[in-house]
Chain A
Amino acid sequence: MTARPDALPTQEMTINMGPQHPSTHGVLRVILTTDGEVVTRAVPDIGYLHRALEKIGERVTYAQYMPFTDRLDYLASMNCNCAWAWAVEKLAGIEVPERAEYLRVIVCELNRISSHLIAFGSYTADMGAFTPFLYAIRERERVNDLFEMICGSRLTYNYARIGGVSGDAPPGFLEKTKEFLDYFEPKIDEYNNLISYNKIFVHRLANVAVVPASEAVAYGLTGPSLRGSGVPFDLRKDEPYSVYPKFDFKVCVGAGERGTTGDCFDRYMVRINEMRESVKILRQAVAQIPDGPVLAKVPRVFKPPVGESYFRSECPRGETGIYLISDGSVNPFRLKIRTGSFVTMNIFEKITRGLMIADIVAVIGSFDIILPEIDR
C-alpha cells in the first residue's frame, strides 16, 4: 500500500508489557513498539527482581549460602541447591558419599519434572487454555509431597549440604517415588492428547520465533532452549557430573516436528519429552541407589583452599554455572552465577521482530524464563 501524501500521519505505539503482566512469568518488562498488532521492536527490561545474590555470596559462608540458592530459581530449587553443593565440592575437592549423589540426582530429576510441568502448564495458559495448567499443578502437587517428605519443605528446600544432603530419604520415600512415576508417566500422553497436538495450539507455536542452531549457539542459549534448535547438548551427557554417567537416557532435541526446527513448538516439545527422560533416569536411580552415609565429613568451619573453580550443571532452564574464587577464608572471594534464563534475553529482541503481540507471549513462554534467574 502506498501512502497518500494527504493521508493522516500514522505513528508507532509504544506499549509497556509488564512488570505487572500475567504472561511475562514474573516481573519482566518488555517495551513493545508496535504497528497495530505487529511488534516492530521488543526490548526486554530486566532488573525488577535484583537481590544482589552474587554480592550476598561474598558476605556469607559457603554453607550459609545454600538457602539463597533456593531463591535463585524457585521452581527448581533442588537443582540450584545441588549446583551450589557440587560447585563448592569441586572447589574444595570433597568426596561425596554415593548414596548422597543418588539422592541428589533423584531430587534434581523430580524437580526437573515439576519445573517442566509448570513450564508446560503456564505455556498452555499463555496460549489461552487454562485447563492443562491445573492438570500440571495437580501432578506437581505430588512432587511437592515427595519433597515435603524428604526435607520438610514444599518450595524452598535447602536440602543439599556441602558434602552430601541434609538427611537420608525417610522410609517409604523411594516406594512413593516409584508410585509417582507409575502415576505420572501416562499423564504425559494425556497432555499430548489434550493440548500438544491440538490444531490451534500447533498453529500458534509452529514456525514462530525460529532460532536456527547456529544462532542459538552464538547467543549462548542452553538447556531446552538450545536443544529446541536441534543442538544435542546436555551437560548431563556432555560434561557428566555426579552419578549421571551411570544412567541411560536420551538427549531430547527439537526436530521441526510441526514446522521449522527451532520454533516455539520444538522448544515446547523438548520439555515434554525431557519429562519422559527424567522419569527414565528416576526409575534407574531408585532401583540402583546404594546404602551408606549421606553426608561426608566436612569441617564445621569450612575453608576451601585458595583457588578458583567453575562448575556448570544442567538445570531445567539451562546451564547454571557457578564461578567461585576462594581466598582461603570462610567466605567466597567472588561468586558469579550464570543462568539459562538470563542469556535468552539477549536473543529476545532479535527473534521477536515482526511478530504479533500474542507471539511475544509465546516466545517468553517457550524460553520458560524465570525472573529470579534473570535478575539474581
Chain B
Amino acid sequence: MEQAALALMNAFPPLAGVPPWAVTLLLIVAAAVVILVFALTFEGVGSLVLRKVAGDIQARIGPNRVGPNGILQFLADGVKLVLKEDIIPANADRLLFKLAPYFVFVGSFAAFVVVPFGVGLIAADLNVGIYYVMAVTSLVVVGVLLAGWASNNKWALLGGMRAAAQIVSYEVPVGMALIPAVLVAGSLSLQDIVRSQEGLLGIFGWNLFHNPFTFFSFFLYFTAAQAETNQTPFDLPEAESELVSGYNVEYSGIRFGLFFLAEFGDMFIVAALATACFLGGWNVPFLHAGTLPWIWGNLLSLGVFLAKAFTMVLVMMWVRWTLPRLRVDQLMRMSWKYLVPLTFVNLLGVSLWLLVFKGKGIPGMIASLFG
C-alpha cells in the first residue's frame, strides 16, 4: 500500500503536500470500501441467483415480483432485513449475542482481502496468503459457537456445536488439499500461485492439469471446502429439517442478515480459492495479462477470474439443490477416516512428483517434447 501511495503522490503533484501516511490510510480505506461493496453486491446478487437457480432446478419460477423478472429481489430482501425488528431473547447473553454476527461476518469478509481478482487487483498481496485465509476464516467458528451459546436455545446450541466440530474437522483436509498448489508455486502468496499457472499452455498450465495428484486434490479441496463452509450436503449446523435453523435460530433483522451475508461470502471465497489455486486464477489463456496495458490487463483478468469463480459458485448451488444431507457422525467419519488420509496421501504424491520430475507438470513435459 505504501508503494502505491508513493506512486500516487508522484503521479498527482497536488498530493505532494499531504503526508504519505495519510494517503496510505486513504488508500487502505478506499480498498476496504471497494471490497466491501463488491462483497455485498456479490452476496446480494448471489442470493438472487441462488433462488433463481433453485427455481430452475425445482421446476418453478423463483422470485419474479420485484423489478423486471425479479432482479431487484435482493434489494427488497436487504431493506427488509435492515428494517426488521432486532429481537434479543430475554435470557440471552446480550453482549455475546450481539458480538457473534460480527465474528462470523468479519471472518468471511476479511478473506476477501487476499483474493487475487486480477493482475494488479488484490487488496493485499500477503506473502502468507493461503495461510491468512485459513486463519481468518477460522474466526467463523468462534462466531458460530458464540451465537449458539449466547442464544440460550438448545437447538441453537446444538447447531453451534455441530458447526464448531465440523469447521475444525474440515479445516485439516482443506488446508492439506491446498498445499499441492503451494508446492507447485513455491509460495503461499495467492498472486504467486496464480502466476505459476501462467504461460503459453493455456488451460493446461492450470494446476488442475499439472499432475494426477493436483487434479485429485482439486476435488478433495472442493468437497472439503463445501463442508467447511457449511454448504449442502454438509449444511448440518443449519439443518433446517432437524435443528429448525441451527445457530442463527434466535437472530432476526440485520444480525441474521450478517450470518446470511457471511454464508454467501464463504461461498465466494471457496470458489475464489479453487479458481486461484487450481483453475488458473485470473490468467487469460494464451495471453500474458501482465504485459498488457494496465487497464486492459486488469479488466481482462478480472473478467476471467470472476467468470471462473462464478462458475464454481453455480456448481455449488447446483449441488446444494440436488443432494440430501449427511448425518453428523457420517460427516465426521468422512472427514477423519477418508478425507484427511486421502489429502495426506495426495500431498505425499505431489511432493514426490515435484521431486522426481523437478517441478514439471505433465503438460509441461509434453510441451517440452515438441520444443
Chain A residue nearest in CB terms to B60: A134
Ordered by A's residue number, 7 sampled pairs between the chains whose C-beta atoms are within 8 Å are A124-B324, A125-B241, A198-B323, A200-B233, A200-B325, A204-B330, A358-B242
A127 neighbours in B (Cβ, 8 Å): 241, 324-325
A246 contacts chain B at the CB level, 8 A cutoff: no
Bound Cα distance A13, B235 (Å):
23
B243 neighbours in A (Cβ, 8 Å): 357
B330 neighbours in A (Cβ, 8 Å): 203-204
Q: Are B242 and A195 in contact (CB under 8 A)?
A: no
| Interface-located stretch among A15-23, A68-76, A291-299 | A15-23
Given A200-B323, A356-B328: A128 and B239 within 8 A (CB)? yes
**Count the A-B residue pairs with Cβ separation under 8 angstroms: how many?**
80
Q: Which of A15, A138, A195 contacts B324 (CB 8 A)?
A: A195
Bound Cα distance A138, B240 (Å):
22
B57 neighbours in A (Cβ, 8 Å): 131
Q: Are B328 and A135 in contact (CB under 8 A)?
A: no
B311 neighbours in A (Cβ, 8 Å): none
A343 contacts chain B at the CB level, 8 A cutoff: no
Interface residues of B (CB under 8 A from A): 57-60, 154-155, 158, 161-162, 232-233, 235-236, 239-244, 321-330
Given A22-B241, A361-B242: A130 and B58 within 8 A (CB)? yes
Q: Which of B155, B235, B323 contacts A15 (CB 8 A)?
A: B155
Chain B residue nearest in CB terms to A133: B58
Bound Cα distance A126, B328 (Å):
15
A361 neighbours in B (Cβ, 8 Å): 241-242
Q: Which of B161, B244, B322 contacts A21 (CB 8 A)?
A: B244
Chain B residue nearest in CB terms to A128: B325
Bound Cα distance A124, B232 (Å):
14
Given A129-B322, A135-B58, A200-B325: A15 and B239 within 8 A (CB)? no
Q: Which of A36, A126, A130, A359 contacts B327 (CB 8 A)?
A: A359
Bound Cα distance A357, B155 (Å):
11
B241 neighbours in A (Cβ, 8 Å): 22-23, 125-128, 361
Q: Which of B59, B154, B239, B324 contacts A200 (CB 8 A)?
A: B324
Chain B residue nearest in CB terms to A126: B241
Bound Cα distance A194, B161 (Å):
31
Interface centre among A22, A127, A204 (most CB of B within 10 A): A127
Bound Cα distance A138, B59 (Å):
8
Shortest CB–CB separation between residue A203 and chain B, in angstroms? 6
Q: Are A22 and B244 in contact (CB under 8 A)?
A: yes
Shortest CB–CB separation between residue B51 and chain A, in angstroms? 12
With A128-B324, A134-B59, A358-B236 given, can you name 11 additional A-B contacts, CB distance below 8 Å? A22-B240, A37-B328, A128-B233, A128-B240, A129-B322, A129-B324, A198-B323, A203-B327, A356-B327, A358-B327, A361-B241
Bound Cα distance A367, B202 (Å):
55
B59 neighbours in A (Cβ, 8 Å): 134-135, 138
Bound Cα distance A128, B244 (Å):
12
Chain A residue nearest in CB terms to B232: A128
Please provide the 10 A-B residue pairs with the shortest distance between their CB atoms, ordered closest to farther.
A128-B325, A129-B324, A127-B324, A134-B58, A23-B241, A128-B324, A126-B241, A358-B327, A201-B324, A15-B154
